Amino acid sequence: MAIAVRTVEGIKVPEAGTYEIDPAHSVVEFVVRHLGLARVRGRFNEFAGTLQIGDDIASSSTVVTIQAASIDTRDQGRDTHLRSGDFLDVENHPTLEFRSTGVRHEAGEWLLDGELSIAGQTRPVTLDVEFDGGAKDPWGNARVGFQAETKVNREDFGLTWNQALETGGWLVGKEVKIELSVEAIQQS
């Protein structure tokens, strides 16, 4: 049997316990269209989170807090604009937060329901989650890995700034794809 992994009803799941997200081996990224052409990718460099994996997987929960000012799109001018009141308003809303409200397994897919808070607005979201397994690191720590993604409309969170283009369309797309790659260390 793999480390930190068990099988429940023929499905591999993490062992029950508390896990802390390892930010050095995890990524919180997003993708949004620019000019209707390119897909611009960005990330948040500072975040923390806890996963509570229950004996019954449906009782599991997670809370993740992201430092809004840590946004990084590899363009300082764009990052400054994204931190401003036009978008994340980091001065008044220093964090983004995800709190799960339920876990379910449907049609072979893991779904993590929760509430996402951005710039003072909280909306329900569902993440498609893939459990990548578990392993023991060279220092004896049990670790688990996950991939997750969802799509949100940024305007649902009050992020409505945009600029019309001469040729039609908009400078910044409304749909934002959120992609997570998480490695977490078992605490108990």
Q: Read off the pLDDT of residues 15-36 as tens digits, 9 standing for 90 and up.
A: 999 999 999 999 999 999 888 7
pLDDT tens, position by position, 77-106: 999 999 999 999 999 999 999 999 999 999
pTM: 0.92
* Cα four-point dihedral sign 149, 150, 152, 157: negative
The Cβ-side half-sphere exposure at 45, using a 13 Å CA radius, reads 7
Quick check: 180 and 147 in contact, CB under 8 A? yes
Total domains in the fold of the chain? 1
* Cα four-point dihedral sign 165, 171, 174, 179: positive
CA 56 to chain CA centroid, Å, is 23
Q: Residue 89 sits in which domain range?
A: 5-186
For residue 160, the domain's CATH number is 2.40.128.110
